[in-house]
Each structure stands twice: as C-alpha cells, then as structure tokens.
Structure 1
Amino acid sequence: MKKFYFLTADYYHPDTVLRPGLEAAFGTENCVYVNDPAEIPWDTLSQDAAFLLIAKMDDYSSQLGHPRYEELFAPEADWMRPEWAAALERYVSEGGGFIALHSGTLWHEDSDMARLTGGYFLRHPPQCNVRVVPTIEHPITEGVEPFTANDEYYMCRVYGDHVKPLALAWSPEPQGEPTVVAAWCREVAWGRVAVLTPGHTLDAILNPNMTRLLQNAAKWVTKTC
C-alpha cells in the first residue's frame, strides 16, 4: 500500500505546530513523517507515495544579513537538491500528488520548485488575525467555511495563468496590505498540485476548516474524491 509522506519542520516552523495539525487531518496510520529530506524516497515516489506534502522552507536568503546566519540558517538552506526537484516533478507529471503547506512555498524565485508549486513566498507582516475565504466551488473547498485565525499573513507571487485560485485571505490589522491568494491548485500533465498558505500557528492549523482543506487537498491530488 502506498503511504502518505510528510516532509516538515525548519527553523521557523517546528513540528510542535505542524505535527498536531497534520495528525488532526491525517492521523498516523499509513503516514510517514520525516524532517530529513534524505528520508524521502525521491527516486521511487511513484511506487511508494500516494502523495507528498512539504512544509519545510528551502529559501533562507532573506536571513543573509543575520549575524548568526552560518550557525542558524546555512545548514538548512537550499536543501532541495536539483535531482530531488526533478524526481518530484517527474512523479507529479506521471500522476502523483504534491501538497505545499505554508513554508512549503519558500522556494527561490523562479526556481523549478516555484514553477512546480505554481508560486512562491514573498513576505509576511507580523502575525495577525487572517480571514480566509473560499472563492469557488471545488473539491478542495467543499464543506470549508470562511474562517479567521491568528496566523502569518503570507503573500506569494502566484503564476496566475497556470493555477486555479481557490481561496483569498486578508486582514484589517496591517493596514494597506493587499488581499492575497491563500490557496490554489494546478494540474501538471497527469498529476496534481495543491497549495495552502495558512498554517504557522496552532490556531490556524487546528482550525476545523483548515483540517478540511488539508483532507480535501489530499483527496484531490490523489484523485479519490
């Protein structure tokens, strides 16, 4: 039986938040949770994985001026090897499922992973109350109600011609910030990609509507809905 693979955790996004949210949505049976990307079977994903979810930032370039960059960030930076990215793209193209959750959008600008994901993280203001509202009827948004959670208000560059926006987000607190795409999906050859940008806090990732988004995204990318 194929397993659900979860690659999680980085300096700013610990498993103390991610694991409770993911286990609330998926449990532990038939699930493989890892922090080390070398533990993902990149070359045999088609045989081993029902889907792969990534919630682990790759691009630490925004921290380059930090006085402790080499100690804190350099070991985790740029973990996605070109051969792994190529293997993931091949897996998706051949019919596999890929979900990018929150920090799983922190890819380098216009990289292969950013293009596969359909966009990449740009910035966020300080944590605030973020309102997430589904905007279209889609299997990923089925049963999902608008919700508000204290979270990081992610702003991403989205390749609009290549994705289907599913939900928008905004906040009244950091004045002047734009409404943003909070969730989107795309089809890549025979496979599917889903992206959910909320999820920095327990308040967000344990929200029942976020749980539903995660479960629906998994069903959609695995073509079981």
Structure 2
Amino acid sequence: MKRIVALLGDYYHPKDWSKASLNKALTLLETIECKVIHTDEILEELSKKPDAVILFKEDRLNPTDENVETWMTEELAEAIVQYVNQGGGWLAWHSGLASYSIDSSYTKMLRGHFEYHPVEHAQVKYTSLEGKELFGSVTFEILDEHYFVKVDEEHTNVFLKSKSVDGHSIGGWSHDFGEGRVCCLTPAHNEEGLVHEDFIQVLANTIKWVSGT
C-alpha cells in the first residue's frame, strides 16, 4: 500500500467538499491509503516519508481580517522542498497554489502560482493537451472559480488547459523535482465541480502519479 497525507480546507474552501472529492478519487486507487492531517502535524508527517502529500489549503488563515496570518513559514517550506527533493510526491490542488509567497522555496518548487480569479464564477472548460495524456484524455466543463496562473512553462509539463468567458489559462502542470514529483491542479472550487466524474478521474490520475503508484 502507498501511504499519502492530505491537508484540506481553509476559510474559502470547506474541508468537507475537498474531502468528499478526495474520497471519490481514492475509490479508484485501491492501493493508496490516505490520512487527513492538520498544518501543525505536517513536519512530523514529512519525517515519516509518506509517498505523497496533497495540499488543498491556502496560506492565509484569516483572509478577511485586518492583520492576516499565514501558516507556512520558510522553515516549513524548506522542509517540504527537501522532502520532495529526496523522493516525495506533492500535489498542489486549487487553493494549495493560492496566497503563498511568490519568492518562497515552496512556490519556486511548484514552478507556478495563482495570480487571480474573476469575482463571478463561470463555466470553465478544461481540456487535456494532445500528447500529454499521462493524466487522462479529457474535456469537461464545470461552473468554477477560473484560476489564472503564471507558470514557468519551459521547466514543467503543462497537461491541462482552461477556458472561460474570461479568457484562457493553465489548468494543470507537472514535473520531476530532484528525486520526487510535483503536480499542480487548478480545479475545482464548487462542490459540484469537485465531484464531477471527469474531474475525479483526473484527480485520481494525478494522485497516482505523485505517489509513484
């Protein structure tokens, strides 16, 4: 059995929604067991060398307050980078890309970051790139928070594109990092999109890849 851990949920992203999505994906992955943890447990869990970590959680703990606090210190970011560099897998999923310092070692490891999303949700069409079907050949459309991201395309492999009335962006990218693997996935925000059948298949495939299954 492969062993993975997941950090899920934040102020804008109900934990129950992402957990339901993850559980659906795990039903397609019988050789993977997952433990959902809190941020104060991550250093201990990294020391146990799980096969992969899933992050669906932004850095801000209290985004609506005047004095915003964050949870990922540079020490923790360095520990994450070391874990992946030594063979771990990392899936930065939706809010796992959001509000982290652009200059942090964590964001540099991802080779991409969230920039903004339009205020209004829109029908977003996600399409896999031809010849990049490692995570499945898919085309699906969901009502979503359309993430616009900046990605170092020369040093990663873009496998999913996104399109809405607001424009075009990148929906997913992946690359090796040292001895480990990194995958970034921008969908989905809404409860319905998170459990969409086609998205669940993509999520399962990315988990399978980062965990080395």
TM-score after normalising by structure 1 = 0.84
Question: Which structure 1 segments of 5+ residues have no match?
Answer: none
Distance in 1 between residues matched to 2:163 and 2:153, nearest whole Å? 18
Q: 2:108 aligns with which of 102, 109, 115?
A: 115
Q: Secondary structure at 2:124's aligned position in 1?
A: strand
The equivalent of 2:195 in structure 1 is 206
Query: 1:46 Cα deviation (Å)?
Result: 5.9
1:135 paired to 2:138: no
1:39-188 → structure 2 map (5 Å cutoff): 39-40=41-42, 42=43, 45=46, 47-59=48-60, 68-70=65-67, 74=68, 77-106=69-98, 107-125=100-118, 126-138=120-132, 140-142=134-136, 144-172=137-165, 177-188=166-177
Distance in 1 between residues matched to 2:103 and 2:169, nearest whole Å? 19
The equivalent of 1:37 in structure 2 is 39
Distance in 1 between residues matched to 2:204 and 2:195, nearest whole Å? 12
Aligned-residue CA RMSD (Å): 2.2
TM-score after normalising by structure 2 = 0.89
**Residues 197, 178 of structure 1: CA spacing in aligned structure 2 closer, same or farther, 3 A cutoff?**
same
Q: Secondary structure at 1:148's aligned position in 2?
A: strand
Identity %: 28
> Which string of whole-angstrom CA distances, capped at 9 and with x for unpartnered residues, describes residues 1-21 of structure 1?
652101011100111311111
**Residues 2, 32 of structure 1: CA spacing in aligned structure 2 closer, same or farther, 3 A cutoff?**
same
Contact 1:151 1:203 in 2 (8 A): no
> Which string of whole-angstrom CA distances, capped at 9 and with x for unpartnered residues, describes residues 15-58 of structure 1?
13111111111159721112x21122x25526341100001001
Q: Secondary structure at 2:135's aligned position in 1?
A: coil
Q: Secondary structure at 1:19's aligned position in 2?
A: helix
Contact 1:131 1:170 in 2 (8 A): yes
Query: 1:87 Cα deviation (Å)?
Result: 1.1
Of 213-222 and 49-58, deviating more is: 213-222
**Aligned partner of 1:33: which letter?**
V
Query: 1:178 Cα deviation (Å)?
Result: 2.8
Query: 1:222 Cα deviation (Å)?
Result: 2.2
